[in-house]
Chain A
Amino acid sequence: MEEFNVNMQMMRALIGALINSAKKLSSMAVETMQYTAKQFDLEVK
């Protein structure tokens, strides 16, 4: 059980890494979207 708990904490940390990379990617998407809209005079709905 002890080993399982350690593994669960490791998995928690990995999920944290996944969340962070997803957050970073999401902000990159928003930035690229805003840049494209500005560059091509488009409206972001």
Chain B
Amino acid sequence: MEVHHHPQVEKKKIKEYFLEFLMIFLAVTMGFFAENVRENISNNERANSLAEQLIKGLQADTANLNNVIAYENVQQERIDTLFIDLQTPVIHADTKQIQQLVFHLFSLKLFVPNIGAISAIEKDLNLKRISKSQLPEKIAAYGHGESITKSNEEIVDKMIGDIISPFVKRISLHPMRTVCSQQTT
């Protein structure tokens, strides 16, 4: 009679199973942390680049706005001079100066905002560094101020068309209208 001897298989102890589990668990956890750190670094880089773009855009906006302010201050002075000139009796009036002033009043320096960085930030509001800051509120407030400025600009533009144009036609000047729009940088 044949006798089969089964080879003795060493049974794994619970301790070994636990060690295997621990190693797999650690590997998965480390992978998760590594991915998190990588994502964090890339998000921070993106947020930083957006912040840099925003600063550059706002610098350009400030320069544009200062040009608009300076130009419109001169326009107010021109209106004052024109007002005085028009009070002068026709015989003594400096017709050439009046014509020049009216001609200059035809122009309007437009504010062209740099919206690139702001739109990019609005699309990336989920970035932790941005969402946790006050930047979204500040950008929204700036956008609101921007639309107020643009509507004031439109009103002035309409006034130029409604007031200056008929006057120019009446005093037989060439109705040339120059709108100096600022170059976007």
| Same assembly | yes
A9 proximity list for chain B (CB < 8 A): 79, 83
B152 within 8 A of A: yes
With contact pairs A14-B152, A18-B156 given, residues A24 and B163 touching in the complex (Cβ less than 8 Å)? no
Is B135 an interface residue when CB atoms closer than 8 A count as contact? yes
B124 within 8 A of A: no
Q: Say which size band chain B's interface belongs to.
A: 35 or more
Q: How many A-B residue pairs lie within 8 Å, measured between CB atoms?
A: 123
Residue of A nearest to B117 (CB): A36
Say what secondary structure dominates the interface of chain A.
helix
B145 at interface by CB-CB < 8 Å: yes
- B-contact 0/1 string along A10-45, CB 8 Å cutoff: 111011111101111110111111011101101011
In contact, B69 and A35 (Cβ under 8 angstroms): no
Closest to A7 in B: B163
Question: Is the Cβ of A14 less than 8 Å from the Cβ of B159?
Answer: yes
Partner of A11, one of B48, B59, B79, B145: B79
Contact, CB under 8 Å: B61 / A11: no
Q: Are A12 and B79 in contact (CB under 8 A)?
A: yes
* Interface residue ranges, A against B (CB under 8 Å): 1, 4-5, 7-12, 14-19, 21-26, 28-33, 35-37, 39-40, 42, 44-45
Q: Provide 22 A-B residue pairs closer than 8 Å at the C-beta atoms, listed in order of the A residue.
A: A8-B82, A10-B163, A11-B105, A14-B152, A15-B75, A17-B155, A18-B68, A18-B153, A18-B155, A19-B76, A22-B68, A23-B65, A24-B145, A26-B69, A28-B142, A30-B62, A31-B138, A32-B139, A33-B62, A35-B138, A42-B55, A45-B59
